[in-house]
Amino acid sequence: MFMDNKALDSALQELTKKRNELKAIDYNDPKYDDLEEKLHDLEDDFQDEYGDYLEKILKEVHVNHFPDSDILLPIAYMGDGALVESEKYPGKDTRLILESNPPRLILRVGKDNKEVVWENK
């Protein structure tokens, strides 16, 4: 599978930036609703453009590493990531995180242990 790395990375960075902007303002801020709507539009566009590609990768990663965990939409793995069950790390807080620069999926175990499980090369 090949995807334009620069375009995917740019889209991930734009989504991350918009999510951080939304987190930085209070819910009562008059800009909040507009920013939230823009974020949802970006997420929809991201899903339309890269969803099928990333869902195939997520399925492969889940089958190989987290067979007991449900596969979510790609945007669910951004930010704090999605909780996954790992036989390799039983009883530990394990999260699968979609990051940019370069686009990759990282398994975070606890607060410090990180392992790249997929990278778009």
* Cα angle 121, 72, 32; round to 5: 95
pLDDT of residue 54: 96
Cβ 74 vs Cβ 46: under 8 Å: yes
Range of the domain at 111: 5-119
Domain tally, the chain: 1
Q: Which two tokens stand for residue 115?
A: 């392992």
Q: Which two tokens stand for residue 17?
A: 């930036």
CA 117 to chain CA centroid, Å, is 13
Q: Give the tens place of pLDDT for each residue, 34-47.
A: 999 999 999 999 99
| Prediction pTM value | 0.90
> At 54, which amino acid appears?
L
Q: Give the tens place of pLDDT for each residue, 58-113.
A: 999 999 999 999 999 999 999 999 999 988 888 899 999 999 999 999 999 998 89
Asked whether the predicted pLDDT for residue 1 surpasses 80, the reply is no
- How far is Cα 48 from Cα 15, in angstroms, rounded to an integer? 14
